[in-house]
Amino acid sequence: MRFLLYIISASVFISCNTGNKTDVLSFREGHFKTYLGERKDSSNFYRTKDLQIETYKNKTDTFHIRWISNFEYELLKVNPQSKLDSIPFKVRITAIKNNYYKFKGAYLGSDFVQSGTTHIIQD
């Protein structure tokens, strides 16, 4: 059983390692900009240890953030206004470059997957 756990952990680490020196922990807190898919839609957000405050199309929402691992986290709206808002949005980081990461995310239980990139905004 330990061997299986070791193999799974090693696989996750290797799949997320892009060969550069970027520290995955640098994406846990700070100012960021996300671009969704191939579209030009984007949002800006500020992330702390426990919260993500995001502005999209002049609307600001606050989410609780829970890191599952260095490469996965869940977002849950602080003040949900609908049933969909009450469902956690799970994000998996699929690749890391110097100042951004690629991700795929979906609402738990949904087959729809949203992909995009999140860039660090230097202050």
Q: What is the pLDDT of residues 40-62, one digit of tens each?
A: 789 999 999 999 999 999 999 99
Residue of 98 and 34 predicted with greater confidence: 34
Residue 109's alpha-carbon distances to 87, 90, 91, 104, 115, in angstroms, are 9, 10, 13, 14, 17
Average predicted confidence (pLDDT) for the chain: 85
Among the listed residues 100, 110, 116, the one whose alpha carbon sits nearest the alpha carbon of residue 41: 116
Q: How would residue 3 be classed by pLDDT, with cut points 50, 70 and 90?
A: very low
- pLDDT for residue 4: 37
Say how many Å lie between the first and final Cα of the chain, rounded. Answer: 46
Please tell me the predicted confidence (pLDDT) of residue 38: 76
Residue 45 to residue 8: CA distance in whole angstroms: 32
What are the distances in angstroms from CA 98 to CA 29, 66, 95, 122? 16, 24, 10, 12
pLDDT at 12 over 50: no
**Quick count: other Cβ atoms within 10 Å of Cβ 96?**
21
Q: Which residue has the higher pLDDT, 72 or 123?
A: 72
pTM of the model: 0.78
Give me the pLDDT at residue 63, please: 97
Are residues 104 and 114 in contact, defined by beta-carbon separation less than 8 angstroms? yes
> Considering only CA atoms, which of 28, 76, 32, 82 is closest in space to residue 56?
32
The token pair that represents 99 in the structure block: 């100042």
